Amino acid sequence: MLIRRLPLSSKVFLVCGLWLVALGLYFALLRPALLPEDPRYIGGSLEAIRAAVPGLERWLGHVFKVMGGFMLATGALTVLAVCHWLAKRERGTFAALAVAGAASVGLMSAINFLLNSDFR
């Protein structure tokens, strides 16, 4: 089987790709528009935010569906890159995966720490 032949670094990328697929599904299908830490970070109550910006939650729902789709797509392409190009040692694949990982999972993790998210 292909997965057994992959080096550890490739398996890490594979797990990250699968994680992005799962995270994308969560964001697109299950994530609420506002998490408990969002009003805390904004500095207001959920009721005050809803009164001040009545369409915010509906709009954020659309934003997170789109973002979830991009996460899912990035994860699927990461899995493809690992199983096809990285397994064949195609030149430039590791660098492309490293940039994609830093721009997606790395940036999201850094922002979660900046926001003092419950999900860090």
pLDDT digits (tens, 9 = 90+) for 54-63: 999 999 999 9
Could you report the per-residue pLDDT of 6-15, keeping only the tens digit for each?
888 888 889 9
Pinpoint the alpha helices (H) of 30-55: 37-42, 46-52
CA–CA separation, 79 and 91 (whole Å): 17
Global confidence as pTM: 0.78
Q: What pLDDT is recorded for position 120?
A: 63
pLDDT higher than threshold 70 for residue 78 = yes
The stretch 27-48 carries a mean pLDDT of 92
Q: What is the mean pLDDT of residues 95-108?
A: 84
Q: Which two tokens mark 1?
A: 């089987």
What is the residue-averaged pLDDT of the chain?
Answer: 88
d(C-alpha 93, C-alpha 39), whole Å = 41
Taking the domains of the chain in order of start, what are their residue ranges? 2-114
Cα distance between residue 3 and residue 6, in whole Å? 5
Alpha-carbon torsion, ordered 33, 61, 70, 118, to 10 deg: 0
pLDDT tier for residue 72 given thresholds of 50, 70 and 90: very high
Q: What is the pLDDT of residue 30?
A: 96
Contact criterion met (CB below 8 Å) for 33 and 57: yes
pLDDT for the residue numbered 76: 95
Under the banding of pLDDT at 50, 70 and 90, the label for residue 114 is confident
120/111 Cα distance (integer angstroms):
9
